[in-house]
Amino acid sequence: MLKMISNPRRTLALVAAAASLLVIAGCGSSSNSNSNASSSASASSGASSGGAAAGKGPITIGVLAPITGNLAPYGVGMKNGMQLAVDLINADGGIAGRKVAYTLLDDQTSTQVSATQARKLLLQDRVNFLLGTVNSADTLAVIPQAEAAHALFIYPVYGEDRSCTSSNGVRPLIFGYGDTPEQQLVQFVPYVLSHLGKRVYFIGSDYVFPHFVDSVFAHFVQQDGGTIVGTAYAPLGTSDFSSYIAKIKSAHPQVLFIAVTGTDGVALVKQLGQFGLRSELKVTGTPSFESEVIGGFSQAAQGVYTVDRYFQALDNPLNQRYVAAYEKMFPTAPKPVPTTAEEVYGSLLMLKAAVAKAGTINPDSVAKALDGISVDTPGGTVTMNPKNHIATTNEYLLQVHGAGYRLVKALGTIPQPGDEGCSAKSLP
């Protein structure tokens, strides 16, 4: 009948070729994205002032962001955030009286590309400061480049942040402005256990970061008297969670903590509702419900509990001004304002304060000035912890509400516990 292959081996060769193409595609549709490197309007090319002390030209900042690849929503948040931050800071008189210019390159969520682009920014464009990366593996790839070029590098977004100190102590030029799972969960878990239930189930994507979130989460659950009734990991790219949902159901948890990342989380939440589980248990989690990804599925995720250092509805004048400026600059951008954008702005505000304090853009002096510095940001007051170079920041317990979040409880200002949260043991 329809069996008409004359030569199965030739077909196999074709299939093998197809398979290798799929592998290429799987590595992030990256080959086409060099042209995505975008740069701010004009001035960044004249960055020949290098690392010298106060000059007349603009202060230049190199930014690495995943504009393509599966972290693109974060990269786009970073890109928008940078455009707005530079606009706002220049409108407020720039940094130490000098205008700010920046060059943003796509790191493609690839360690190799991240390292190459970092070198390009540092050695060819000779930027004064380096900012960026979302994926922690990329951060680790960029740190040696920054240190080799003796440049100050700020990692602005949420992550495990095990990269700002070396085994010999703090890496002097590397700073984590982003918060960590420890900071997010240390107050969040006790609230969840006492208000939502003590029997919890953890489900995450099967790669390093959710495993790390799990270890932090499990630690706090045990410490605070909860019970973990089950743990499951789904491979990246899972779109049908029905078999996982069957397992969750039979474990009878009161609380489900979701660390399924990116677009997979959308499918999971949607399916939980369809299987009728949303009424049986409370759904919580991070980073599944972050502002960068919630836009597409806020409807399905109403009432889910999460935690973040920033949210659009924060009620303070600085944030009201920020949100208005963001919506004016990006009228069609997905709602709500992404935390990544606010973090990039906060990083620049902190850098501005440090340069003002140091009176120079010399990286060593600015790094020294960053230690212990406090700035007011739309998300609240942020202080750079000199012990581990990780920002002490506000955390807010939130519930998905409408297209964004509503505040359940302000958890206060939370430092990264201990000073080895930044250990770089994972570095080669």
Partner 1 sequence: MNGTDVLNLVVTSVFTVQIALGLTIIFGVMRVINMAHGDFFMLGAFTMVTVSNSGLPVWVGIVLAPIVVGALGAAVERGIVRRLYGRRDLSTLLATFALSIAFEQLVDLIWGPQSFTVRAPINGTVTVIGATYPTYRLVAAGVAVLVIAAVALLIYRTAFGIRIRATMQDGETAAALGTNTHAITSSAFGLGTALAGLAGALMAPFVGVNYAMGLAQTVQSFLVVITGGMGSIGGTVGGGILIGGGQSALSVPLSGTVAEILVLLLAIFVMLLRPGGIFSRGQARTA
In three-state secondary structure terms, 159 is coil
The reply to whether 279 sits near partner 1 by the rule CB under 8 A is no
The CB-of-15 to partner 1 minimum distance in angstroms stands at: 6
419 by Cβ neighbours in 10 Å (0-12 / 13-18 / 19+) ranks as middle
- The answer to whether 207 touches 420, Cβ cutoff 8 Å, is no
Q: Write out the two tokens for 305.
A: 């509990």
The reply to whether 250 sits near partner 1 by the rule CB under 8 A is yes
Pairwise CA distance, residues 21 & 247, whole Å: 35
The full DSSP string for 177-240 is: -S--HHHHHHHHHHHHHHHT-SEEEEEEESSHHHHHHHHHHHHHHHHTT-EEEEEEEE-TT---
Q: Which of 217, 297, 305, 322 binds partner 1 (CB under 8 A)?
A: 297
CA 213 vs. chain centroid, Å, equals 13
Q: With respect to partner 1, which residue has the nearer C-beta, 159 or 262?
A: 262
* Beta strands at 100-106 and 374-377: parallel, antiparallel or unpaired: unpaired
Q: Which of the stretches 86-94, 109-117, 212-220, 266-274 binds partner 1 when contact is defined by CB under 8 A?
A: 266-274
The reply to whether 18 sits near partner 1 by the rule CB under 8 A is yes
Q: Which of the stretches 57-65, 126-134, 229-237, 353-361 binds partner 1 when contact is defined by CB under 8 A?
A: 229-237
Q: Which of 47, 64, 65, 72 binds partner 1 (CB under 8 A)?
A: 72
CA 59 vs. chain centroid, Å, equals 25
Q: Which of the stretches 102-110, 120-128, 133-141, 292-300 binds partner 1 when contact is defined by CB under 8 A?
A: 292-300
Q: Write out the two tokens for 149.
A: 């070029």
The reply to whether 335 sits near partner 1 by the rule CB under 8 A is no
Q: Write out the two tokens for 386.
A: 């000199």
Residue 357's closest CA among 375, 333, 382?
A: 375
Q: Which of the stretches 97-105, 113-121, 295-303, 304-312 binds partner 1 when contact is defined by CB under 8 A?
A: 295-303
DSSP bridge pairs for 258: 203, 285
Q: Which of 167, 168, 242, 425 binds partner 1 (CB under 8 A)?
A: 242
The reply to whether 206 sits near partner 1 by the rule CB under 8 A is yes
The CB-of-107 to partner 1 minimum distance in angstroms stands at: 15
Radius of gyration of the chain measured on its C-alpha atoms? 22
Kindly give, in sequence order, each residue whose CB lies less than 8 Å from that of residue 183, ignoring residues fewer than 6 positions away: 309, 390, 393, 395, 414, 415, 416, 417
The CB-of-133 to partner 1 minimum distance in angstroms stands at: 17
Q: With respect to partner 1, which residue has the nearer C-beta, 153 or 257?
A: 257
Query: Site size for partner 1, by CB under 8 A?
Result: 60
The reply to whether 243 sits near partner 1 by the rule CB under 8 A is yes
Q: Which of the stretches 102-110, 124-132, 149-157, 269-277 binds partner 1 when contact is defined by CB under 8 A?
A: 269-277
Q: Write out the two tokens for 347.
A: 């990083």
The reply to whether 293 sits near partner 1 by the rule CB under 8 A is yes
Kindly give, in sequence order, each residue whose CB lies less than 8 Å from that of residue 96, ignoring residues fewer than 6 positions away: 54, 59, 352, 355, 356, 359, 361
395: phi > 0 → left, psi -120 to 50 → alpha, else beta; which?
beta
Q: Which of 12, 123, 208, 403 binds partner 1 (CB under 8 A)?
A: 12
The reply to whether 300 sits near partner 1 by the rule CB under 8 A is yes
Q: Which of the stretches 137-145, 163-171, 238-246, 380-388 binds partner 1 when contact is defined by CB under 8 A?
A: 238-246
Q: Which of 2, 56, 167, 168 binds partner 1 (CB under 8 A)?
A: 2
Q: Which of the stretches 7-15, 133-141, 169-177, 181-189 binds partner 1 when contact is defined by CB under 8 A?
A: 7-15
CA 141 vs. chain centroid, Å, equals 16
Q: Write out the two tokens for 236.
A: 């990246």
The CB-of-334 to partner 1 minimum distance in angstroms stands at: 6
Q: Which of 29, 112, 222, 316 binds partner 1 (CB under 8 A)?
A: 29
- The answer to whether 340 touches 77, Cβ cutoff 8 Å, is yes
- The answer to whether 227 touches 200, Cβ cutoff 8 Å, is yes
The reply to whether 295 sits near partner 1 by the rule CB under 8 A is yes
Q: With respect to partner 1, which residue has the nearer C-beta, 191 or 275?
A: 275
CA 376 vs. chain centroid, Å, equals 20
The CB-of-27 to partner 1 minimum distance in angstroms stands at: 11
The reply to whether 34 sits near partner 1 by the rule CB under 8 A is no
Q: Is the dihedral of CA 318, 371, 286, 330 positive or negative?
A: positive
Q: Which of 138, 160, 264, 343 binds partner 1 (CB under 8 A)?
A: 264
Residues forming contacts to partner 1 in the complex (CB under 8 A) are 1-5, 8-9, 11-12, 14-15, 17-19, 21-22, 25-26, 29, 32, 70, 72-73, 76, 206, 232-235, 237-240, 242-247, 249-250, 262-267, 270-271, 274-276, 292-293, 295-297, 299-300, 334
